Structure 1
Amino acid sequence: AVRKVLEDSKATEADKDRRIAELAERLRRTEEDAAALKKAAEDGKALSKELEESRKALEELRGRLDKEEPLLPGKDYARAVQPREPAVRDYSVRLAAGSPGAFDEPQGSRLPTDAGLGQAYRIHAALSSSWKYVSDPAVSWSDYASPARRTLALGLAGDCDDFAVLVASCVQAVGGRARIVHGYTERSGHAWAELWLGDGERGRAALSRAGRAAGRPGWTPAHSTDGRGGTWLVLDWRFGELSMRPSRTEVAWTGD
C-alpha cells in the first residue's frame, strides 16, 4: 500500500505524506486491535465449555452457510446485523445455553435478567476467544460490512466492524437490544457493539450485575449513556472494556 502511494505520479508530496501517515495509523490501530483480541482469547480460555460449544455449533452450521455471500458497501448495518437468520439464531442459542433462563423480564422488554447478562457474557466470550483477526490496513474498516451469516461461514474472522456486527446479531437473537458505535481519534477509527441495560436507575444498577456475570464482583464495566438516560454496556474485544480512547463517538446503528 505504501509503495502504491509513493508511485502515484498525480499526488503531491504533501498528499503522499498525509496518506502514508493515515496508513501508519491504520496499521497501529490494527496492531492494537490484535493485541486486545489476544488478551480476550487468554481471558476466555477458562470458558473451555463455551469454546467447545462454539466450535461444535459452527461445525453443525457448516452445510447451511455460504462463504460467497457478498460484503455490503459502506455501513449498512441494518442489513448486516441478522438476528433473525436461522443459522445466526441457532448459533446464538447454543452459546447462551450455559446460562439458562429468560433473557429479559418482563418478556419482550429487552431488560436483561441475571440469566440474560450471563448469556450475553457467554456469547461474547465464545466469539472473542475464537475470533481470527483479519484486516487490510490499505482498506478502511468502514468501507464494507460483512453480514453476520457470512462471518459465521468464514469461521469467525474479520476486523472490528465484522466483530461488532456478529456480537450485535447474536445478543439480539437471544432477546437483547444492541447498537453499534464508532469511535474516532485524529487519524483512526474503531467500531464496537453495546448492549442496552435499561434506562435510569435500572440501567445503572444492571452494571454491577454485569460485572458479576463476568465473574468480577464489584467491577463496573465500561459503558455509555444515551439521551434518554439509557445505559449501554460496551462489548468491544474484551467484555466491558473499550480498546481505545476516542475523541469523538457516533451511534452508527441501533436495534429495535
Structure 2
Amino acid sequence: MQKETGEKKREYRWMKRLLAFVLSFFFTLPVFMLVYPRIPSIEIPVGTGIRLDQMILFMFIFLLLYFLIYSLKKYYLYISITLVLAIGLSHFTGLYSLQRFSADYLSLLTNLEKVSESSKFVTKTVPFTREELLREAIDYNNPELIDFARNIATKHFQEYKALSKDSRWIQYFSIFKEIENKWIYMYDPLYEEFFSKASNTAKQLSYNNKFKGDCDDYSIIIAACIRAVGGEVRLVRTNVLLDDGRTVGHLYPEVKIGDKKDFENVAYLLRNLLFPKEIKNKPLRYFLDNKGEVWLNFDYNDHFPGGRYQSNIRISELKV
C-alpha cells in the first residue's frame, strides 16, 4: 500500500513537472520577444556567427518561469489564465499584437550574414565640398516640402506599419519607392554643378509625374524627405571607376536604421513583404559605423533600399 502511494506521489510530481515545463515553454517565447530588443548583442564569431545573447536570454527566461510556475504549482490554473489574459490584453490594446509577435519571431530567425552585407570601405577624411550649398538645397523645413514628404511617406506599405518596430522605417521605404521609381537621370548644365532644392524637385511631378536630376539632386530630395519625417540621413561622396577607365564623382544617401537587432526586423520586412520581387536573392547592403549603428544604402542603383554601392570608397560624409 505504501509502495503504491509512493509511486502515485512520484507520478504526480512527474506530471506537475511536465505541466510546469509545458507552460514555461509556451510563455517563454512571448516574454523573450519583449525583452530581447532591450539587451546588448553578444555574438561569437564562428561561421556565420553564434548569437549568444539569444541563447542565454531564452534559457534564463525559461528557467525562471519554470521555477516560479513549479513553486506555485497549486495555482497552475490561475497562472495560466493570468498569462493568457496578459497576452490577449496586449494584443487587443495594440501594445504587442499577435501579428507583430509573428513578424518579430520571423525576424529573429533571419540570419543577417546570409541575407545582408556589411560593406567594407576605404574611408578618407576629406572635407565635404560645397557643404553650404548642399545644406541650403536640403530644405527639409520648407512647409511645402514637409507636406510632400508626409504624403509620399504614407503612400505605400501602410498595411505593414504594425509589423515594424519603428513606424518611421515604413515611411522611409515608402519615400524611397516613390522617388526611386519615378526618377529620371538628367545631367547638369555643361561645365556647371547645379543643386536643385528638394522643394523644387518635388514640384516636377506636376509636369509628367516624374522627378528629374543627377545623383546630387536625388540625394538632396531623399535626404530632405527623410529628415522631414523625423529620420537621420547622411550624404556620402565617392569616386566611381567607369568601364572606359575614367573616374567620376558620385553622391548618395544613407539612412540610419538602428543597431543590428533593429536591422533584423528591417531585413525581414524588406525581403519578405516590401520589396520581395526586387530583392529576390540579393544581399541588403549597409554601412556599420564605429558605434554599431546600421546605415542602409538608399542609392538608386537597385530598385530597393540596401542596393549595391557604386564604389567602396568613402571620400567624405555629410550628416544632414
Cα drift, residue 191 of structure 1: 1.2
Paired residue type of 1:228? K
- Indicate if the aligned counterparts of 2:256 and 2:294 stay in contact, CA closer than 8 A: yes
Structure with greater Cα Rg:
2
Query: 1:124 is matched by which residue type in structure 2?
Result: F
Aligned residue for 1:172? 227
CA distance in 2, matches of 1:253, 1:169: 13
After TM superposition, list the pairs within 5 Å mapping 1:7-156 onto structure 2: 74-75=130-131, 76-98=133-155, 99-100=157-158, 113=165, 115-136=167-188, 138-139=190-191, 143-155=193-205, 156=211
> What SS does the aligned partner of 2:304 have?
coil
Cα distance between partner residues in 2 of 1:218 and 1:165: 30
Q: Distance in 2 between matches of 1:95 and 1:212?
A: 22
What amino acid maps onto 2:286 in structure 1?
A: H
Q: 1:184-195 alignment to 2 at 5 Å?
A: 184-186=239-241, 187-195=247-255
Aligned to 2:237: 182
Quick one: distance in 1 between partners of 2:315 and 2:293? 15
Aligned partner letter, 1:185: V
Q: 2-side partners of 1:113 and 1:82: how far apart?
A: 28
Contact 1:208–1:219, Cα closer than 8 Å, also in 2: no
1:202 aligns to 2:262 (yes or no): yes
Q: Which residue of 2 aligns with 1:224?
A: 287
Where 2:315 maps in the other structure, the secondary structure is strand
| In 1: Cα distance, 2:190 partner to 2:260 partner | 42
Letter in 1 for 2:234: R
1:162 aligns with 2:162: no
Give the counterpart letter for 2:199 in structure 1. R
Q: CA deviation at 1:90?
A: 0.6
| Counterparts of 1:246 and 1:79, CA distance in 2 | 26
Structure 1 CA distance, aligned partners of 2:145 and 2:135?
Answer: 15
Change (3 A) 1:197 1:95: same
Offset of residue 78 of structure 1: 2.1
Per-residue CA deviation, residues 165-219 of structure 1 (Å, 9 max, x unaligned), is: 1011112211211111122135112111111011354346533434345332886
- Asked whether the 8 Å contact 1:121–1:213 carries over to 2, the reply is no
RMSD of the TM alignment (CA)?
A: 3.1
Partner deviation per Cα, 1:147-180 (whole Å, 9 max, x = no partner) = 2112223442110110011011112211211111
Alpha-carbon distance in structure 2 between the residues aligned to 1:159 and 1:248: 20
TM-score (norm: length of structure 2): 0.47
C-alpha deviation, 1:125, in angstroms: 1.2
Give the Cα separation in 2 of the matches to 1:96 and 1:120.
6
Opposite residue 233 of structure 2, the aligned amino acid is A
In 1, distance between residues paired with 2:154 and 2:281? 25
Structure 2 equivalent of residue 24 of structure 1: none
Residues 1:227 and 1:213: Cα distance change in structure 2 (over 3 Å): farther
Alignment partners' CA distance in 2, 1:241 and 1:139: 32
Judged with a 3 Å threshold, the aligned counterparts in structure 2 of structure 1 residues 213 and 148 are, in CA distance, closer, same or farther, namely: farther
State TM-score, norm by structure 1: 0.57
Residue identity matched to 2:176: H
In structure 1, what is the Cα distance between the partners aligned to 2:234 and 2:304?
15
- Post-superposition CA distance 1:29-82 (Å, at most 9, x none): xxxxxxxxxxxxxxxxxxxxxxxxxxxxxxxxxxxxxxxxxxxx9343222212
Contact 2:286 2:296 in 1 (8 A): yes
1:84 and 1:212 mapped to 2: Cα distance? 34
Q: Give per-residue Cα distances to partners, 1:105-149, cap 9 Å, x unaligned.
A: xxxxxxx73532222222111111222321048446xx3422211
Number of residues of Structure 1 aligned to a counterpart in Structure 2 = 174
CA distance in 1, matches of 2:173, 2:153: 9
Sort the Cα spacing of 1:185 and 1:218 in 2 relative to 1 into closer, same or farther, 3 A.
closer
Q: Any idea what the Cα deviations from partners look like across 1:224-244, whole Å, max 9, x if unmatched? A: 122212111111113235455
Q: Identify which of 204, 214, 234 aligns with 2:297.
A: 234
Amino acid at match of 1:97: T
Q: Which amino acid aligns with 1:175?
A: G
